Amino acid sequence: MTFSTLGFIFIFLPISLLVYHLIPARKSVWRKAALLIFSVLFYVWGDAPSFVVLLISVLFHYVSGQQIRMLSTEGQEGMRRKAAVITTAAVDVAVLGIFKYSRLDLPVGISFYTFSALSYIFDIYYGRVEDDGNILNEMLYILFFPKLISGPIMQYKDFHEQLVQNTAKNRYFASGMHLFIIGLFKKVLIADNLSTAFHQISSLSQMAGLTAWLGMIFYSLELYFDFSGYSDMAIGLAGMFGFRIEKNFHYPYLSDGVTDFWRRWHISLGAWFRDYVYIPMGGNRCSREKQFRNLAVVWILTGLWHGNTLNFLFWGIYHGFFVILEKFAIGQKRLSIPKWARILLTDLIAFVGWIFFFTPSIGAAFRYIGQMFGADGLGFANSASVYYLTNNLVLLILAVICCGPLLTKLHDALVYRGGKNMIYASVVLHVVLLIFCVANMVGATYSTFLYFRF
């Protein structure tokens, strides 16, 4: 099941919200239990055969976490504690490797829930939580359906604090609905239409340079609106159930450097690698050579996490190269370039990198890059280029505008300064957006989220 389906919006979500909010807030255990049951149903509805793998993972990490919790940090027990963490991480890497690099069907969400489970282990090991061994809290953290399939990868210490202190509040409900509808708009009305345009171009065996550039741009925008739309829906859904999850995207295509881009894109994944890989290896508090090593390891792992082909490894090394280049060679020198030029250059680097996502091999990726510069001998533009540009020009302009905060700032300024009438107008606007999204979902072919395959 995905968020952008009629069954989820009109059956699963209303029932789960109704049951959850009918249970008094003071009966937090019953609320957690109900939310856990709905999370299991959500996963089973979408991928029942893989639920056994998920359940084994949850129980395995709970047992490992409690073993680590009970062992002290002193002497022999401290060594056993460290060995338990290493063993758990090694098992996770092995399981991910088996599923990603074999012919076995990849369980939905395994990359995301495995990292969530490891956060549970690491936060107990580093003493970041006062964990009391409550299995309901651990199971709900990993299985919480808004973030289960494709994140955001909320760290255990952040979720645990809300569970234990019972800080889940209904005040997040309205903002949650707003985010869910905005995310649905991004996915259904922008990303899915960009997907149609991209697949029309990618089906061509030969193309002029402009056609290839358009294909790269359509995919890059589709990926952003697809994944950021999913994240907005996930964060919105969490808010409807009273939980706070931090934003996962912050206008990444307005970044003025590759390092800045990765502070804005898939923020929760970057934070995970920072807190559980980069900093434990020494982070920035070591020699330049070790900093270089730390960054290289993080980016190689980031590439391997995303996929099981050499394309993804190359993509990780590609971005790691630019991050290291900025940090150790360019530094503040880049500030002498106008900001608009830095933004365009950063987007070009990011967009070219996405080519390694949508092509089946490194050779195919470089062939596509060659087509962008006329390798097929069809020149820079032809009738096909003009057709794809003019047919999708309005969509392209809308997507570019929505890559920035302009519409959000305009909406907020009108709502918060315009009194009750503007608040009512905002409600009407959201209802209209929802109607358009539902109408598009009824008439369109089902399109899953891109990051489900990662």
What does each of the 454 residues of the chain score in pLDDT, given as a tens digit?
A: 789 899 999 999 999 999 999 998 888 899 999 999 999 999 999 889 999 999 999 999 999 999 998 887 777 778 888 999 999 999 999 999 898 888 788 899 999 999 999 999 999 999 998 877 889 999 999 999 999 999 899 999 999 988 877 655 567 888 899 999 999 999 999 999 999 999 999 999 899 999 999 999 999 999 999 999 999 999 999 999 999 999 999 999 999 999 999 999 999 999 999 999 999 999 888 888 899 999 999 999 999 999 888 999 999 999 999 999 999 988 788 888 999 999 999 999 999 999 999 999 999 999 999 999 999 999 999 999 999 999 999 999 999 999 999 998 888 888 777 777 777 888 888 899 999 999 988 876 656 666 655 5
The rounded distance, in Å, linking the Cα atoms of 278 and 157 is 18
Q: How many CA atoms lie within 13 A of 128 on its CB side?
A: 18
CA triplet 334, 228, 331: central angle to 5 degrees?
A: 15
Contact (CB, 8 A) for 401 and 186: no
Locus of tokens 């003025």:
256
| Residue 306 is a catalytic residue | yes
Tell me the whole-structure pTM to 2 decimals: 0.93
- Which residue type is seen at 123? D
Contact (CB, 8 A) for 166 and 242: no
Active-site hit among 61, 266, 306, 319: 306
Domain ranges of the chain: 6-168, 174-443
